[in-house]
Amino acid sequence: MIGKPRFGARKELDETWTIFDRRTGKIAERSGLIMARLNKYVVLGLVQILEQI
């Protein structure tokens, strides 16, 4: 059975993207890196990587 994805991405008003944790609603953070102010080209890849960790 496949569960709901834990992470999602949203476009911010300044045209950057933020990856957030769907469980907490907070901005995702890994190894001290805050997943905010990202460009659209890296967001999908990062979400996929975070889902595998």
Domain ranges of the chain: 7-52
pLDDT of residue 2: 66
pLDDT of residue 10: 97
For residues 17 and 8, the answer to whether their CB atoms sit within 8 Å is no
Average pLDDT for residues 25-52, to the nearest whole number?
Answer: 94
Assigned token pair, 10: 């949203």
Dihedral sign for Cα atoms in the order 11, 14, 15, 18: negative
* C-alpha dihedral (15, 25, 30, 35), degrees to nearest 10: 0
pLDDT of residue 3: 80
Q: Which residue has the tokens 């907070």?
A: 26
Please state the pTM of the whole predicted model. Answer: 0.87
Where would I find the H helices in the chain? 40-52
What are the pLDDT digits (tens) for 1-31? 468 899 999 999 999 999 999 999 999 999 9
